A and B are shown apart, each in its own frame.
Chain A
Amino acid sequence: MNDPQDRIDNQSRRSFVGTAAAVGAGLGVAALAPGLHLIEVSQAGTARSPGEAASNTVRWGMLIDTTKCASGCDACVKACNTENGINETIKDARQGSQWIRKIELKDPKNGREHSLPMMCQHCANPPCVDVCPTGASMKRADGIVLVDRHICIGCRYCMMACPYKARSFVHQPLTEQNPEVPRGIGCVESCTFCVHRVDKGQMPACVEACPEGAMTFGDLNDPASAIAQRLAREPSTQVRADLKLNLGVRYQGI
């Protein structure tokens, strides 16, 4: 389980194998098509083609095993920052963007400690989407909650509404952005589940970077996926389950 590659769920594997077989059969076509790079085809896996809409048959989710998450380890945070171009320096850390953060918990009754990453929980009923006046906060058909940077007016109402403090407001001009992850001053942003990678059939950067294999990503709707099977087999919790937001991120061990 420790090798990130092992954590690609079963559906991804099946799709990958299927696609790879199709590609193998069509190699002659690929050779005849100028500009078609084999390397891109081989990465496709569960990738969507650019014009294809996200499907509501899929619900992307994440399972985080806090018993494996080491206190003091912030590999997921660093990977997120690198992947999404969050590299600005800001004097007051409270004004900086934190798409994912490590939280240390201690139960005062028994002294038990936990460490876990906290990010957008990709709710099925997201309060941020409900309150957004322009519809910039939106949930994709496959359950990923995003901000449309073109119509976000920077009112921060979604930040008031989010129970997980998962959203950040860009407080200053930005430079050196990742072209695949547009960010902008005056807009709100949050974890996208690395949607640009997921759409290419890859894992979110944090999942790939976790040295303990504490994060499992996959399709909650696919009973054969690793995440769905573990959720069916092992106990897990949703943070602030009382709010009944039906979260895409689940935790174990807390």
Chain B
Amino acid sequence: MHLEQHSRLESGLFYALVAAGGLVTAIGLGAALFMEHSGHVVTGMNNQIVWGLPHVFAIFLIVAASGVLNVASIGSVFGKAMYKPRAPLSGLLALVMLAAGLMVIMLDLGRADRLVVAMTHFNPSSVFGWNVILYPGFFAIVGLYLWMLMDRKMNPYYKPAGLAAFIWRLILTTGTGSIFGFLVARQAYQSAIIAPMFIIMSFAWGLAVFMLVQRAMYGWNDLTLDPAIRQRLKNLLGTFVAAVFYFVMIYHLTNIYFAKQTAFEAFILLEGGIITWMFWGGYVLIGTLLPLFLLYHPDIWPRPLAVCAASIGVIVGAFCQLYVFIIGGQMFPLEIFPDMLVSSSFMDGQIDHYSPSMPEFLLGMGGIGLAFTATAIGVRVLKFLPQDDISKLKSADGHLLD
């Protein structure tokens, strides 16, 4: 993976990709500057739907960032040899995706210029406040972990570092889920199941991202992933996707059972227009059933792009799921006066509507652009390509040893 080994054509393609990623990032930053200058009046957000498309992008990136580290954790914490060569790439993706997610969420602040205030004023009762500690801590711990993995002198210490990173990432995703779980006001949230649901979502989304990046890197280097390793990874992805579906079902079934929540559930599952379509078509069909079919049908999963297509489906489903959860959850009116017909000048008692504006979308894409560009540069200059010593991983009859 040294620069001089790359052909001129391949180098040209690399720089073109980095330039494209950089351009998307720059456009995203420009959109944020425009929003900062004009105010959020240029967005589709309002005083009822206070978090919009940038939060969908940011929360996807932050949740997937902690989940993508799972690949490293399986190697370091649970001692599975097959995952160890994948740990550096897993750590790199975790860092760049978290950075990208934080960039989006920070640039969406009404006063993004007060970042220093956010870091110097701390309210210990705020879940957001906890995250102000959890995010930099994640950077530090995963950075140390990567150092210990990649520096031979530090190699003996990688296991404790891996364990610390694993515990920290579980706490971090608990914190992200609890941003919503601790909200008492809105029908969509205030549930203890949200934190563990976010953890299992992070497993699925992070692994889907990892599979795609790994596939791209192998393709770039004319390598093919060993079928046994591919099968192991796709089975893990399928398990995570099914587990997310289980949590989503429990979340909705609980709400349906509670009489006070049935109107909200009817909105999300039946009458919510685009929200309902995104739930059933986006999350259930594209994000869950299609990937499970692609990953488990015996004739389909061995095909070259089946696992890739499943991973893309999981990511599309994740965006739909977050849109339903974040936007749909805010569109439904607050139940300030239960059992009363309510009207006002402020959308009381009415389903709100939300149309994301172009600057919001571009800011979110800027986060994706940053994650892409930083990953491309990272895997180019450092040794992140997962290289398997198949002879050590497999038994004589060709099965993976652990």
Q: Is the CB of A172 within 8 A of B41?
A: yes
Measured between beta carbons, the chain B residues less than 8 angstroms from A94 are 46-48, 346-347, 352
Distance, CA A163 to CA B185, complexed state (A): 4
Q: Determine whether the beta carbon of B346 is less than 8 Å from that of A95.
A: no
A239 in contact with B184 given A95-B46, A118-B344, A157-B128 (CB within 8 Å): no
- Give bound CA distance, A161 to B48, whole Å: 11
- Complex Cα spacing A108 to B112, Å: 45
Closest to A149 in B: B111
Which of B201-209, B308-316, B334-342 participates in binding chain A? B334-342
Closest B residue to A113 by beta carbon equals B341
B228 in the interface (beta carbon within 8 A): no
| Pairwise interchain contact B185-A162, C-beta atoms closer than 8 A | yes
Bound form: Cα–Cα A151–B122 in Å: 11
- Which residue in A129, A161, A163 is a CB contact (below 8 Å) of B336? A163
Which residues of B318-337 have CB atoms within 8 Å of chain A's CB atoms? 330, 334, 336-337
Shortest distance in angstroms between B260's beta carbon and chain A's nearest beta carbon? 10
Q: Is the CB of B128 within 8 A of A161?
A: no
Q: In the assembly, what is the distance between CA of A185 and CA of B186, in Å?
A: 26
Besides the known contacts A108-B339, A152-B114, A157-B179, 18 further A-B residue pairs in the complex with CB atoms under 8 A apart: A94-B48, A95-B47, A96-B47, A105-B340, A127-B184, A131-B125, A133-B131, A135-B123, A153-B117, A156-B51, A159-B50, A163-B184, A163-B334, A165-B346, A168-B47, A171-B40, A186-B40, A254-B337
Does the CB pair A131–B344 fall under 8 Å? no
- Say yes or no for A92: interface residue by CB 8 A criterion: yes
B343 beta carbon closer than 8 Å to chain A: yes
User: Taking beta carbons and an 8 Å cutoff, which residues of A are in contact with B?
Assistant: 90-98, 101-109, 118, 127, 129-136, 151-157, 159-165, 167-173, 185-188, 239-240, 243, 254
Which B residue's beta carbon lies closest to that of A245?
B184
- Shortest C-beta distance, A158 to chain B (Å), equals 9
Known contacts A133-B132, A163-B334; is A153 also within 8 Å of B114 by CB?
A: yes
In the complex, which residues 116-144 of chain B have their Cβ closer than 8 Å to any Cβ of chain A?
A: 117-118, 121-123, 125-129, 131-132
Quote the shortest CB–CB distance from A125 to chain B (angstroms).
Answer: 10
B182 adjacent to chain A (CB < 8 Å): yes
Q: Are B340 and A106 in contact (CB under 8 A)?
A: yes
B390: CB under 8 A from chain A? Answer: no
Q: Which of A104, A161, A188 contacts B342 (CB 8 A)?
A: A104
Question: Quick one: which of B39, B118, B347 contacts A170, CB cutoff 8 A?
Answer: B39
Measured between alpha carbons, how far is A138 from B110 in the docked complex, in Å? 18
Is B388 among interface residues, defined by CB-CB distance under 8 A? Answer: no
Are A161 and B47 in touch, CB under 8 angstroms? no
A95 partner residues in chain B, CB cutoff 8 A: 40-41, 45-47
B47 touches A159 (CB 8 A): yes
- If over half of A's interface residues share one DSSP class (helix, strand or loop), that class is named, otherwise mixed; here it is loop
A154 and B46 contact, Cβ closer than 8 Å, known pairs A134-B117, A240-B336: no
Chain B residues packing against A (C-beta within 8 Å): 36, 38-41, 45-48, 50-51, 109-112, 114-115, 117-118, 121-123, 125-129, 131-132, 179, 182-186, 330, 334, 336-337, 339-348, 352
The docked-state distance in angstroms from the alpha carbon of A183 to that of B129 is 24
| Closest CB in chain B relative to A187 CB, distance in Å | 6
What residues of A have a CB within 8 angstroms of the CB of B126 in the complex?
A: 130-133, 157
| Nearest residue, chain B, Cβ from A93 | B345
The answer to whether A118 and B336 have CB atoms under 8 Å apart is yes
Q: A105-B337, A163-B185 are in contact. Are A187 and B39 (CB under 8 A)?
A: no
Q: List 28 A-B contacts (CB under 8 A).
A: A94-B47, A94-B347, A95-B46, A96-B47, A101-B348, A103-B337, A105-B341, A107-B339, A108-B340, A130-B125, A130-B126, A131-B125, A131-B183, A132-B129, A135-B121, A153-B110, A153-B114, A153-B118, A154-B114, A156-B110, A159-B47, A160-B50, A165-B336, A169-B50, A169-B110, A173-B39, A187-B110, A243-B184
- Asked whether B123 lies within 8 Å of A106 as measured between CB atoms, the reply is no
CB pair B345 A134 closer than 8 Å: no
CB-based contact B118/A187 at 8 Å? no
B39 and A155 contact, CB distance less than 8 A: no
B41, B342, B348 interface centre (most CB from chain A within 10 Å)? B41
Q: Which residues of B contact A243 (CB under 8 A)?
A: 184
Q: Tell me which residues across on chain B come within 8 A of A169, comparing CB atoms.
A: 40, 47, 50, 110
Q: How far is the CA of A109 from the CA of B340 in the complex (A)?
A: 9
Q: Which residues of B contact A151 (CB under 8 A)?
A: 114, 117, 121
Tell me if A131 and B38 are in contact (CB < 8 A): no
Contacts of B347 in A (CB 8 A): 94
Q: Chain B nearest CB: distance from A250 CB in Å?
A: 15
Would A104 and B343 count as touching, CB distance under 8 A?
Answer: yes
Q: Which residues of A contact B111 (CB under 8 A)?
A: 152-154, 186-187
How far, in angstroms, from A151 to B109 measured CA to CA in the complex?
12
Q: Report Cα–Cα, A185/B114, bound state, in Å.
A: 13
Q: Look across to chain B and name the residue whose beta carbon is closest to the beta carbon of A162.
A: B185
B341 touches A108 (CB 8 A): yes
With a CB–CB cut-off of 8 A, which chain B residues contact A152? 110-111, 114
Q: Across the interface, which residues of B come within 8 angstroms of A97, CB to CB?
A: 47
Residue among A91, A95, A109, A153 facing the most chain B CB atoms (10 A cut-off): A153
**Is there an interface contact between A153 and B47, defined as CB atoms closer than 8 Å?**
no
B185 touches A170 (CB 8 A): no
Q: How far is the CA of A153 from the CA of B110 in the complex (A)?
A: 6
Which residues on B sit within 8 Å (CB–CB) of A185?
39, 110
Given known A-B contacts A104-B344, A173-B39, A133 and B185 have beta carbons under 8 A apart? no
Which residue of chain A lies nearest to B40 when distances are taken between CB atoms in the complex?
A171
Indicate if the CB atoms of A92 and B46 lie closer than 8 Å. yes
Bound complex: CA of A240 vs CA of B48, how far in Å?
18
B264 to chain A, nearest CB (A): 15
